Amino acid sequence: MSKKAVVLVTRKLPDAVEARLERDYDARFNSADRVYTSDELVEFSAGADAIIPCHTEKLTAAVIERLPDSVRAICSFSVGFDHIDLDAAKARGIIVTNTPDVLSDATAEIAMLLILGAARRAHEGEQQIRTATWSDWSAIGGLGIQVTGKRLGILGMGRVGQILAKRARGFDMQIHYHNRSRLSPDIEAGAIYHGSVEQLLPQCDFLSLHCPATPETERLMNAERLGLLPDGAILVNTARGAIVDDDALIEALRSGKLFAAGLDVFNNEPDIDPRYKALDNTFLLPHIGSATRETRDAMGFRALDNLDAITAGREPPDRLA
Ligand code: DGY
């Protein structure tokens, strides 16, 4: 019998995923689900053939350079890969994979929830009930912005953006988008393409971010670009916090330039900028875009499909490096 490959699993994963890992691999689990430091990542990788990290593990060039030679693959339990330095992995001949497609529906659901929650001031209403400060129904209290029929701008019309567009059409929203390349008319399904971010922004009553975090998109939503949104617009982010300049967004929320923001992702999670929590016009979630039972199982199985291919000497389906 051939020896099972050794796999470092950096976070606690769903039961079904850990059961498959246990069956097929010599897996090192993290049952306490503690986020490892960089030093621990390197130390616990000793003798491992592969690592299954989440986006919480920062596999920077410095960390990858220190990984033991035994590590041949990093199969991330995530679609995003801004936590992994692909060039450093390539330089060391380490294969890197992610889990595209399987979390698009769940993430689009959270984007829709943020749109609705931010527009209808869900957090303030919830708080009134929970703190027993709801005095009575009022004809003029708790007024939000109606979502139905408004213009939704989608920045990054990939898998999640396309599903969000479908869901938003159920609210009769008019879809505008910017993407690196224009989609074919059948996929566009009537959505209006704008050739630049700057052209898109003035058309958005709502703006939803769906581009990856890269050096090009870091702080893309800065003061200048937020200023191009119509007054009273709503911004939602389910992509990555790095796309937003926190100072600029907080100022736009404080000044009333924006009516509200719905955020599921932040810079420096989980120690996010405390000013967001002090604002009434924010609807905040703790990075739960992909957090459904179905999706987290599917992400784990997808990561394992990639690992299975690599250990069998085949090309993995979702290779990044
Ligand atoms: C992803 O898969 O990138 C999600 O943000 C969760 O990590």
Is the per-residue pLDDT at 15 higher than 80? Answer: yes
Is the per-residue pLDDT at 72 higher than 80? Answer: yes
Using the atom order of ligand 1, give the atom closest to the CA of residue 240: 5
The arithmetic mean of pLDDT across residues 291-314, rounded, is 98
Residue ranges of the domains in the chain?
6-102+293-311, 104-284
Nearest protein CA to atom 1 of ligand 1, as residue? 78
User: Could you tell me what percent of the chain has a pLDDT over 90?
Assistant: 99
User: Could you tell me what percent of the chain has a pLDDT over 70?
Assistant: 99
Q: Is the CB of 117 under 6 A from ligand 1?
A: no
pLDDT of residue 223: 98
SS3 annotation, the chain: CCCCCEEEECCCCCHHHHHHHHHHCEEECCCCCCCCCHHHHHHHCCCCCEEECCCCCCECHHHHHHCCCCCCEEECCCCCCCCECHHHHHHCCCEEECCCCCCHHHHHHHHHHHHHHHHCCHHHHHHHHHCCCCCCCCCCCCCCCCCCCCEEEEECCCHHHHHHHHHHHCCCCEEEEECCCCCCHHHHCCCEECCCHHHHHHHCCEEEECCCCCCCCCCCECHHHHCCCCCCEEEEECCCHHHECHHHHHHHHHHCCEEEEEECCCCCCCCCCCHHHHCCCEEECCCCCCCCHHHHHHHHHHHHHHHHHHHCCCCCCCECC
Pocket test for ligand 1, best of 10, 52, 55 (most atoms within 8 A of CB): 55
pLDDT of residue 14: 98
Q: Is the CB of 79 under 6 A from ligand 1?
A: yes
Q: Is the CB of 78 under 6 A from ligand 1?
A: yes
Decide whether 6-102+293-311 matches 104-284 in CATH topology: yes
Separation of CA 126 and ligand 1 centre (Å):
27
Class of domain 6-102+293-311: alpha beta
pLDDT in tens, 83-139: 999 999 999 999 999 999 999 999 999 999 999 999 999 999 999 999 999 999 999
| Reported confidence tier of residue 1, pLDDT bands at 50, 70, 90 | very low
Separation of CA 149 and ligand 1 centre (Å):
30
Q: Does residue 240 carry a catalytic annotation?
A: yes
The arithmetic mean of pLDDT across residues 227-250, rounded, is 98
Separation of CA 15 and ligand 1 centre (Å):
19
Q: Is the CB of 241 under 6 A from ligand 1?
A: no
pLDDT of residue 274: 98
Q: Is the CB of 303 under 6 A from ligand 1?
A: no
Separation of CA 14 and ligand 1 centre (Å):
15
Separation of CA 196 and ligand 1 centre (Å):
26
Domain 104-284 has CATH 3.40.50.10090: no
Q: Is the CB of 80 under 6 A from ligand 1?
A: yes
Nearest protein CA to atom 6 of ligand 1, as residue? 78
